Amino acid sequence: MKKQLTFGLIVGNRGFFPDHLAKEGRDEMLSVLKAAGVNVIALGPEQSKYGAVETHEEARRCGDLFRKHRDEIDGIIVTLPNFGDERGIADAIRYSTLRVPVLVQATPDRKDIMKISHRRDSFCGKMSACNNLMQYGIPYSITRLHTVQPESDTFKKDLEWFSAVCRVVDGFRNLRICALGARPQAFNTVRYSEKLLERSGISVITIDLSEVLGRIDRMKDSHDTVQQKLALIRKYVETGHVPESALIKMAKLGVSIDSFMSETQSTISAVQCWTALEEFFGVVPCTVMSMMSEQLLPSACETDVMGTLSMHALALASQTPSALLDWNNNYGDDPDKAVCFHCANLPKHFFADVVMDFQTIIAGTVGKENTYGTVVGRVKAGAMSYARFSTDEFTGKIRGYVGQGEFTKDPLETFGGVGVVRIPKMQKLLRYICETGFEHHVAANFSQTASPVYEAASRYLGWEMYHHEPEE
């Protein structure tokens, strides 16, 4: 999933203002973007004055250039080293026909150099540029400070934030989600609308568990792909007390899922599990799912398609693995703490120490020997971002919430994959979840990426989002 980003760069210029600032501003921004490790598509000095955009013809050339590289460009940065031509900027983006995130940055004036030869007025020009983008119906983002020096640490953080926004938007474009098996009968909570997802360019590719098991039935234990997957499982997690027969079943299940997802070009997945795989195949799929999530290819249990989509957003933003958890228990009488839990299929990135075990809850019903394959341990302490998307058929919208908190070191004696979370004003969040009918599953990630996920979903995907206690 990790890739080098490519940005289209528009350098604003306006003849009433010193245009040497456009040249200097372009050079500075190119240097900053290069240092950040991103590719840049921009007009050169041979294509427009100083490689900036001012006239209608220059806007046309810029749009044509971006359109030529449309499959490469993940986002557009508009830099205003002076006031900039508001219409030229908007026209360039319109002519590009690109539908990617746009970041508008304006370079500050220096109060000791405000004579006509060096005065920028980009403070004012940014408002005009944004006004025109709004008129043109082009969604855009802005830096945290109204004016910010490109070489500053503040803009570096803006750029990291915008890069995360672009990764989420790009990662959701033409996304294909593999749904393996039916929704468990007892889990109405994970119902969702394929049609609403399709409106956002996201497709769900389904396969019945009988077909998955049918593919497995044709595999020999000695097959190269099975043995290779078995070796990867043993390398991934401690399996010392797990029967060999169960490990072979897990390997075959992994090969079956991998092959179907490859055939259908699916990126992320949701798996039925409870309790068909245990009763009729004899293992839980947790380890196989954990391995996929660890590789930044999220996999959610209980066929929670919207859950794996939530995991994917956080993974795209942070470029680290996500997990799907239950908002499961109170933690004593602390109103800002809760226990988050799953049986578990969390990626091992979440644990300090992890082992493979059996599924304690289901074992009482189907037998311990049929429930090996969980990945269990205590979730380590650290910063946490969380997210949840849901389809609302009654309003015809996709909606969601995001926020940040932390996993703590608070003591806890229980089973499965479990951690204690602390979230400021958590009772307000829990009330929101219950009053608006969200599911009990939530995606979590060791990062502080709630803001870019919110920006991508609300501004560029057009989803109805709630940001719990956003940081200033």
Give the per-residue pLDDT at 366.
87
pLDDT at 404 over 70: yes
Residue 291 within any structural domain of the chain = yes
Same structural domain, 47 and 188: no
What mean pLDDT do residues 97-106 have?
A: 98
CB 289 within 8 A of CB 301: yes
Strand partners, 372: 358
Is residue 262 situated within a structural domain? Answer: yes
- 183 and 256 in a single domain? The answer is yes
pLDDT at position 174 over 90 = yes
Residues 30, 34: Cα–Cα separation, whole Å: 6
Asked, for residue 163, whether it belongs to a domain, the answer is yes
Amino acid type, 447: S
Q: What is the pLDDT of residues 262-321, one digit of tens each?
A: 999 999 999 998 888 999 999 999 999 999 999 999 999 999 999 999 999 999 999 999
Q: Is residue 1 part of a domain?
A: no
**Model confidence at 112: pLDDT above 80:** no
> Looking at the structure, do residues 183 and 157 belong to the same domain, yes or no?
no
Tokens 């992994």 found at: 254
Strand partners, 403: 386
Question: Which of 156, 172, 188 corresponds to the end of one domain?
Answer: 172
Helices marked H in 173-326:
194-199, 209-217, 224-236, 244-264, 276-280, 286-294, 305-318
Task: State the average pLDDT over residues 242-266.
Answer: 97
CA 58 to chain CA centroid, Å, is 35
Whether 344 and 392 share a structural domain: yes
Please count the structural domains in the chain.
Answer: 2
In terms of domains, do 155 and 235 share one?
no
Instruction: Decide which of 144, 172, 200 is a domain's last residue.
Output: 172
How far is Cα 93 from Cα 308, in angstroms, rounded to an integer?
A: 33
Would you tell me the crossing angle of helices 209-217 and 244-264 to the nearest 10 degrees?
Answer: 120
User: Is 129 inside a domain boundary?
Assistant: yes
Residue with tokens 């900039």: 84
CATH number of the domain enclosing 136? 3.40.50.10940
Query: What CATH number did the domain enclosing 462 receive?
Result: 3.40.275.10
Same-domain pairing of 182 and 168: no
- Summarize pLDDT for 18-46 with one digit per residue, the tens: 778 989 999 999 999 999 999 999 999 99
The gap from C-alpha 384 to its chain's centroid, in whole angstroms, comes to: 14
Q: Does one domain contain both 83 and 223?
A: no
Residues 137 and 182 in one domain: no
User: Using one digit for the tens of pLDDT, what is the confidence trace for 117-143?
Assistant: 677 899 999 999 999 999 999 999 999
Q: Which domain holds residue 388?
A: 176-467
CA distance 361 to 236: 24
Q: Is residue 227 domain-shared with residue 319, that is, in the same domain?
A: yes
Asked if residue 29 belongs to a domain, the reply is yes
Residue 60 located in a structural domain: yes
Indicate if 269 and 307 belong to the same structural domain. Answer: yes
Please report which helix (H) or strand (E) contains residue 56, including its range.
helix 56-68
Report whether pLDDT(1) > 60. Answer: no
If asked whether residues 120 and 38 sit together in one domain, one would say yes
- Based on the domain organization, do 399 and 254 belong to the same domain? yes
Q: Is residue 472 part of a domain?
A: no
- Can you read off the two tokens belonging to residue 227? 């043995």
Q: pLDDT at position 416, please?
A: 87
pTM: predicted TM-score of the whole model, two decimal places: 0.96
The last residue of a domain, from among 172, 206, 234: 172
Give the bridge partners for 392, in sequence order: 397
